[in-house]
Amino acid sequence: MPMSFLAAVALLPYLQVLPPTEEVRPDSARTRRAAEEAQAGFERERRRYLPIYRGGRPSPCDERIGRFCYWYESGAPLPEESPHAVRGRERLLRLLEEAQADLPGDGWITGQLVRYLVEHGRADTAVAWARACGADQGWCGALLGFSLHAAGRFDESGRAFDLALSRMPAAEANAWRDLEQVLEEDAPPARADSLLWLGDPLFSRPGNDLRTELLARRVMIRLLTDAERTDRLSWGSDASEMLYRYGWPVRWSLDLPRTSALDQGSVVGHERQPAYGFFPAGRRMLWDPARPRPRARYSPSYVKAFTTQGEHQLALFRRGDSALAVAAFDLRRDTLFGEAAVRTALALVRDPATDPIFVATEHPIPRGVVMTSAPWHPGVVSLEIEHGTKERFAVARALVPPRDSEPALSDLLVFDPGPSTPGTLDEAALSARSDLRLSRRRPIGLYWEVYDASGDTIRVSIAVVPGRPGFLSRMGRSLGVVGKQPPVRLEWAGPAKGEPAVHGRAIELDLSRLGTGRYEIVVEARDRSGRRATARRPVVIVN
């Protein structure tokens, strides 16, 4: 029965009127519980419709980490995702978006929302939700770095992670930076930022996506620690190590039982491929991403193929206080490139805190010579070649050593001889060889420079020495000979005082008396006081 106007007026003194700006808060516990149940329900649904694994599990595993067997299937396609899983994730995302709007300060809800948006291919939307995060600033910043990395905005991701780490407790931030689990066992002791810098897949791209990938893995470890998992397993230190070393699965399948009908089979996680070991290995800090069984793998989202095996030659020369890098390359015989147009970048990189200096050029075919210069400082020279349209890369790197004391030698530049002997580096570079497999039937040219030898007499010895690259790694070892053939010996006076202290020489070498195999061309320069400098170039001699 409707209340009369007079009765309503009589009740006014007893009514509590809420301020107009105060909102009624949702039941946060109920909202969080509903989000957790929806996430667990989605993972159960995903498991129900997993495709059957069609690969072959190796025996033994490439790596055994606790409960997990890890193996790398090169070239294996990712299994198709069930339409049921796609629709289930769409429903989950709608619920998580509503829950996050109600509880922006709940870090678990925002984290799962960002995670599943990235998984669903909506990284840019994940960035927007991460920016709206109202939870702990360190965690919200890490979610922003995670989503920016997934969107391919690596430079922004790195800055977001830097800010997030600065807002975390020191012990937590240090744990996130710890690289012990991913470094090669024979890697030399070095600062983490230096090793991450040396492992950067492409210096010519802003940011370091190897670093942001590892930090994104830290985010995913936290996201999975207290959430339902596709593989039904409880979280543990072995699961954490597996994810940190190899990344998280982007697809799942079911490996059917082979022995017992009671066995429900195993859930197989499939990481993105191709994946590479970008951290340098060994005391010589060798960078070979394609080496077999690296301790950690990473598959950049922008790469369909990545090689370090293309034909190339890198050489460094001095110009005052600067380093001049020369790179010759030819990828026409590489099936990844063929005759395609390419973009090249030749980068000189000083340290993690200094932007690289590089020259970028385009070539109508994957062959050419590139030169660039930068202030001389120990670091890295990197030749980076990108297929014009197919997300394929070839990269070659060498360390820039400290400047030698006088006398000093440049690297050796191998070139194809022409009608006249080159008198300058520019002339020699025009015919620099990319292929260091040399025919014994044709002579080759060799160019080098001696520095800081004004007014002195320089004795130069040249030898072609058998052995694998690095066979003659100890300085001071006497130059060998091939059979009974003595090394070529040259001698001349250095430039007079006051003249430029750069002395270039070019010669032709006859290889016809050598057998096929691996060799090193070795040049040694000595002044009158006995000080010496040595330069080596590994080559392969063929018929």
User: How do residues 72-91 score in pLDDT, each as one tens digit?
Assistant: 988 788 999 999 999 999 99
Cα(300)–Cα(162) distance, integer angstroms: 21
What values do phi and psi take at 489, rounded to 5? -125, 135
pLDDT of res. 403:
79
Residue type, 174: N
Tell whether the model's pLDDT for residue 305 goes beyond 80.
yes
The yes-or-no answer to whether 303-402 and 404-543 have a common fold is yes
Higher pLDDT, 286 or 454: 286
**66-75, 236-245, 372-381, 493-502: range with lowest mean pLDDT:** 493-502
**Assigned token pair, 316:** 């460094």
Is the pLDDT assigned to residue 470 strictly greater than 80? no
| Lowest mean pLDDT across 22-26, 371-375, 401-405 | 22-26
Q: What per-residue string of b and e applies to 73-99 under the rule 16 or more CB within 10 Å gives b?
A: eeeeeebebbeebeebbeebbebbebb
- Residue 489 banded pLDDT, cuts 50, 70, 90: low
Q: How far is CA 536 from CA 189, 335, 410, in A?
A: 27, 30, 10
The string of pLDDT tens digits covering residues 250-271 is: 999 998 876 555 456 789 999 9
N-term to C-term CA, the chain? 109
* Residue 98: per-residue pLDDT: 96
Q: How confident is the model at residue 308 (pLDDT cuts 50, 70, 90)?
A: confident
pLDDT for res 424: 93
CATH architecture observed for domain 404-543: Sandwich (2.60)
**What does the pLDDT read at residue 282?**
77
Residue 477: pLDDT band with limits 50, 70, 90: very low
Q: Is the Cβ–Cβ distance between 326 and 413 less than 8 Å?
A: yes
Domain parsing of the chain, residue ranges: 28-257, 303-402, 404-543
- Bigger pLDDT: 119 vs 465: 119
Place of tokens 């990189």: 349
Cα angle, residue 297 at apex, residues 296 and 303 outer, rounded to 5°: 160
Average pLDDT over residues 22-29: 63
266-270/251-255 β-pairing? antiparallel
Q: What is the Cα–Cα distance from 381 to 403, expressed in whole angstroms?
A: 15
What mean pLDDT comes out for the span 177-197?
83
What's the CATH number for 303-402?
2.60.40.10
User: pLDDT class for 172, splitting at 50, 70, 90?
Assistant: very high
Quick: pLDDT tens for 329-382: 999 988 889 889 999 999 999 988 889 999 999 999 999 999 999 999 899 999
Residue range 41-55, pLDDT digits in tens: 999 999 999 999 887
Q: What's the whole-number mean pLDDT along residues 507-516?
A: 89
